[in-house]
């Protein structure tokens, strides 16, 4: 997926639409930093999306993300395209899952940065034409995960040789690179990437794309951050064919993070050859907490949503109103939704867990300061088509 320069905000404000997204890969990470090492900032540290990967056009799982930090700096991330370890989750069987996912990382212009088919085997770009390679093309190896801090990531991949993964350090744009690539030096410190999960064998099934922040300790106000995440995928009418995007927040216990979550489709018309008939006509969005209870719902963004009678309300259930986005700094988010009344969205403050909440909900008070949420996009009235789920950090400065 190629990005337009309009995906990067003017004057350093956040990109609006962006890439296609993520949910926690499983539980909260085991490498939990002490709260003594965190400043008052909070951030997105894990993003992943589960969706259907088919053999047809535009049926890949396309997950994009925006990084923001110091111009010329770097960010170390682990990117995964996985499937089989989800067996048993939400009733998924082995036959429901993609048998052999492959992973491709692209830059903002759709050029290839790195590829991987099986995580234990490093791959170079010798099979990729030089004209298709990114200026950020680099070598990597997911097998070099070292030290106890990375045990949880490596152990998750063990016994799943068919999973795809890459441990990679990506650069943030310098002023010269920003001016050269995007025509605006103000974009220095940003970079935009897209991870594409497809089938290595031509088969179809459920898969997950995940991005892990491996620089999650220390001063959060000075290190590079994940500030925009979104995933494009196919929403079907069958069981487990929703677009399921989750994310992990990390900050101080009891803090909150302001986010804009969107389930959209029609504004992608024309992107990568998508036609109106390819797109989900009426996406609806549901936000769940770590135990699957409902935090909020929305069907059409201009109307505040409410929980349904069958929902179990989350302890974090709250009110929101995306039509009330205030101030000029939010113009670009509101304007993107104008003209697409069927898009779903919610502007919402989400809390980090306190010690008591972490013990009650996650079974471990050491998870205080984390928060794990899942956003689910489905079709209203069992409609089907390509959709996108996006999470924007509105506290990014």
Task: Tell me the HSE value of 198 on the side-chain side, using a 13 A CA sphere.
Answer: 14
Higher-pLDDT residue of 79 and 140 is: 79
Query: Lowest-confidence range among 34-43, 230-239, 264-273, 343-352?
Result: 34-43
Q: Residue 128, exposed/middle/buried by CB under 10 A (0-12, 13-18, 19+)?
A: middle
Q: Distance between CA atoms of 292 and 43, rounded to whole angstroms?
A: 22
Has residue 77 got a pLDDT over 70? yes
The string of pLDDT tens digits covering residues 92-150 is: 888 889 988 999 999 988 899 999 888 877 777 888 899 999 988 765 555 555 555 66
Q: Distance between CA atoms of 156 and 31, rounded to whole angstroms?
A: 13
Q: What is the DSSP string of 142-210?
A: GGG--SGGGHHHHHHHTT-TT-EEEEEEEEPPPHHHHHHHHS-GGGTTEEEEEEEEEESSS--EEEEEE
Instruction: With CA atoms as reference, report the closest residue to 23 among 252, 249, 347, 320.
Output: 249
Which tokens go with 37? 């090492």
Percentage of the residues of the chain whose pLDDT score is greater than 90:
11
Residue 5's pLDDT band (cuts 50, 70, 90): very low
Which tokens go with 46? 């894990």
The Cβ of residue 70 has, within 10 Å, a number of other Cβ atoms equal to 13
Q: Distance between CA atoms of 271 and 273, rounded to whole angstroms?
A: 5
The DSSP output letter for 334 is: H
The string of pLDDT tens digits covering residues 344-385 is: 888 888 888 899 988 998 888 988 888 888 889 988 877 888
pLDDT of residue 321: 61
pLDDT of residue 147: 53
Q: Distance between CA atoms of 382 and 23, rounded to whole angstroms?
A: 23
Q: Tell me the pairing of strands 243-250 and 61-68.
A: unpaired
The string of pLDDT tens digits covering residues 306-356 is: 888 888 988 887 766 666 665 656 777 777 777 788 888 888 888 888 999
Q: Distance between CA atoms of 311 and 294, rounded to whole angstroms?
A: 6
- Which positions ≥6 away from 347 have C-beta within 8 Å? 258, 259, 260, 320, 321, 322, 324, 325, 394
Q: Distance between CA atoms of 123 and 168, rounded to whole angstroms?
A: 12
The string of pLDDT tens digits covering residues 213-255 is: 877 665 555 578 888 888 888 888 777 788 888 888 888 877 7
Q: Distance between CA atoms of 191 and 69, rounded to whole angstroms?
A: 9
- Rounded mean pLDDT of the chain? 77
What residues pair up with 387 in beta bridges, in sequence order? 233
359, 298 Cβ separation under 8 angstroms: no
65, 47 Cβ separation under 8 angstroms: yes
- Which positions ≥6 away from 216 have C-beta within 8 Å? 31, 33, 43, 45, 250
Instruction: With CA atoms as reference, report the closest residue to 287 among 249, 313, 309.
Output: 313
Instruction: With CA atoms as reference, report the closest residue to 336 among 260, 396, 274, 280.
Output: 260
């Amino acid at each position: 997926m190629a990005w337009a320069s309009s995906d990067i905000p003017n004057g350093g404000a956040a990109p609006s639409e962006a890439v296609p997204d993520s949910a926690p890969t499983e539980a909260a990470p085991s490498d939990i930093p002490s709260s003594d090492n965190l400043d008052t900032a909070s951030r997105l540290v894990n993003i992943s999306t589960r969706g259907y990967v088919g053999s047809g056009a535009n049926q890949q799982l396309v997950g994009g993300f925006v990084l923001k930090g110091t111009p010329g700096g770097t960010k170390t991330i682990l990117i995964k395209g996985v499937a089989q370890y989800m067996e048993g989750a939400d009733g998924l069987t082995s036959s429901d899952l993609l048998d052999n996912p492959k992973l491709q990382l692209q830059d903002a212009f759709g050029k290839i940065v790195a590829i991987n088919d099986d995580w234990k085997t490093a791959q170079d770009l010798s099979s990729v034409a030089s004209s298709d390679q990114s200026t950020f093309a680099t070598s990597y190896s997911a097998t070099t995960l070292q030290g106890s801090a990375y045990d949880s990531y490596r152990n998750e991949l063990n016994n799943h040789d068919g999973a795809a993964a890459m441990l990679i350090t990506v650069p943030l744009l310098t002023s010269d690179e920003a001016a050269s690539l995007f025509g605006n030096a103000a974009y220095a410190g940003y970079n935009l990437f897209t991870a594409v999960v497809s089938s290595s064998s031509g088969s179809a099934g459920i898969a997950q794309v995940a991005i892990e922040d491996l620089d999650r300790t220390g001063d959060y106000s000075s290190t590079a951050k994940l500030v925009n995440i979104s995933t494009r995928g196919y929403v079907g009418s069958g069981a487990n064919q929703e677009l399921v995007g989750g994310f992990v927040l990390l900050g101080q216990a009891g803090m909150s993070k302001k986010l804009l979550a969107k389930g959209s489709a029609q504004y992608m018309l024309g992107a990568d050859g998508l036609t109106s008939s390819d797109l989900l006509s009426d996406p609806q969005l549901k936000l769940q907490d770590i135990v699957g209870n409902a935090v909020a719902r929305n069907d059409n963004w201009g109307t505040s949503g409410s929980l349904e009678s069958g929902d179990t309300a989350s302890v974090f259930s709250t009110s929101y109103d995306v039509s009330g986005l205030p101030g000029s700094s939010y113009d670009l988010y509101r304007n993107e939704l104008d003209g697409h009344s069927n898009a779903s969205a919610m502007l919402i403050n989400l809390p980090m867990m306190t010690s008591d909440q972490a013990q009650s909900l996650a079974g471990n008070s050491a998870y205080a300061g984390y928060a794990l949420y899942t956003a689910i996009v489905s079709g209203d009235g069992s409609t089907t088509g390509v959709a996108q789920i996006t999470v924007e950090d509105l506290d990014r400065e």
